[in-house]
Amino acid sequence: MDQASQLRGLVKEMSGGAPPMTVPQSVPTGIVSYSPLADQAVPMKPRSPVNPRNPRNLRSPLDPRNPRVVPPKPIRLAKAIAVCSGKGGVGKSNLAVNLAVLLSRMGKKVCLLDADLGLANIDVLCNITPKRTLEHVVDGKCELPDVALLAPGGFRLIPGGSGVARLANLDPGRRHTLLKQLSVIDRVADFIIIDTGAGLNPNVLSFAGAANIVLVTTTPEPPAITDAYGMVKTLLRHLPELKLEIVVNMVQSEQEGKEVFDRIARVCRTFLRQAPEWGGAIRLDPHVPEAVRMRVPFALYSPDCPATKAVDRIAQRLAGVETRAKIADAGFFSRLATMFGLSREAT
C-alpha cells in the first residue's frame, strides 16, 4: 500500500469511519436538521377557530409537537488554538507540537497546521520529511488527504509551506474551493492547532483572528518580553474581543513565570485598558534540547520531565475551556476565509 493510500485511511479513521475528504457541496454550520421529513408538514386535528392563513391547520415542520420531525442537532466544530510569539527562539513550535501530542494522549483528534512561513520546522521536530505541502493543494496537484501526515504522538500534521501565504492572495473562487476542503477538518477534529510565524504580519493576524484562543509565547529575557507586549498590543488593537493568553517558557520556577506575566499584564492594563490572561509557565528543562537533537517531541522523549508536566497542565486546561461562538458558529477555516477577506480589503 502506498503512502497516499495509508494517509487516506488514517484520515478516514480520524472521521470515525466515514470518508471524510469527500468535499460536500456546502459546509453546514450552526444548527441543522438531518431529518429527511423536515420539509414535510404533518396534518393535525382542526382547532377552533381555524386560522384563515392556514385553513388546513398544518403544523410547522419545526413545531416540536410534530412527531415526525427529528429535533435539530448541533454540529460539533473543532476548537482552534493559535500559538504565536513576538520573536523567534522562544519555543513556540515546541509548545505547539507537544500540545498536539498531549491533547492526542487524552483521546482528542488533533490537527496541527504548520503556518510558520519563515522557519517552518514542525517536520524537523517530528522527524518527518513531507513530500507535499499545502502549496500542492493550492496548486491543485493533490488533495488534502495526500498532505495530512500522521505524526509521532498520534496527531495529524499539515505542512503549510508557502501555500499558507498564497491563501490570502488567491482569487475568491479558488480560495473558496480550497477552504471548503480544509473546512472538513473542522468537523472531524476536536482541536486545530496553528503554529504561526514569529512576529506580526497580515497572515499571523488572520490566523489569530480566526482562532478561538491565542497563546503568545515568551521567555523571561527582556527582548522577548518587549516583543511579546508588542504582539499583544497589536492583536488587541485589531481584535479587541480576542481571547489571549501568555505562556512563559524556559523559567526557573512557576513564580518567575507569573512575575513575567504580571509585568506584561500591568503594562497592558495601563496603556491598553485590557490585559491578556495567564496561560501557564514551562520550566527550563535539559530534556527539551535533548529531544530536539533526537528529533522527537519531548512529551514522548521524557513523559515525566518538568516541561512535559507543565505543557500537560496547559493542555488539560485548554481541553476544558469553553469558547465563545465566533462569526455565527462558523468553523476555523470559514472564519479564516473571512479574516483573509478583511485583510485584503484593508490593504
- CA-CA-CA-CA dihedral for 248, 254, 256, 262, to nearest 10: 70
Whole-number Å distance between alpha carbons of 83 and 103: 15
- pTM for the predicted model, two decimal places: 0.76
| Residue ranges in 168-296 assigned as alpha helix (H) | 172-182, 184-188, 202-210, 222-238, 254-272, 287-294
pLDDT of residue 51: 55
Asked if residue 122 lies in contact with residue 164, where contact means CB atoms within 8 angstroms, the answer is no
What domains are defined for the chain?
40-73 (no CATH), 79-346 (3.40.50.300)
What is the pLDDT, as a whole number, of residue 104?
97
Q: For position 133, what pLDDT does the model report?
A: 85
Cα 71 to Cα 41, 63, 224, 230, distances in angstroms = 15, 9, 51, 48
φ, ψ for residue 47 (rounded to 5)?
-115, 155
- State the DSSP code for 8: H
Torsion sign over Cα 138, 139, 140, 142: negative
Cell of 290: 535533548
Summarize pLDDT for 172-211 with one digit per residue, the tens.
777 777 777 888 898 899 999 999 988 888 888 888 999 9
Distance set, CA 307 to CA 47, 310, 313 (Å): 69, 5, 10
Residue 312 grid cell: 500537560
Residue ranges for the chain with pLDDT beneath 70: 1-75, 117-120, 162-163, 165, 168, 323-329, 341-347
Please give the pLDDT value at position 321: 79
pLDDT digits 0-9 by tens, 11-58: 555 555 444 433 333 333 333 322 333 344 444 444 555 555 555 555
**What are the start-end ranges of the E strands in the chain?**
31-32, 73-74, 79-85, 110-115, 149-150, 156-159, 191-198, 213-218, 244-251, 277-283
Give residue 67's pLDDT: 57
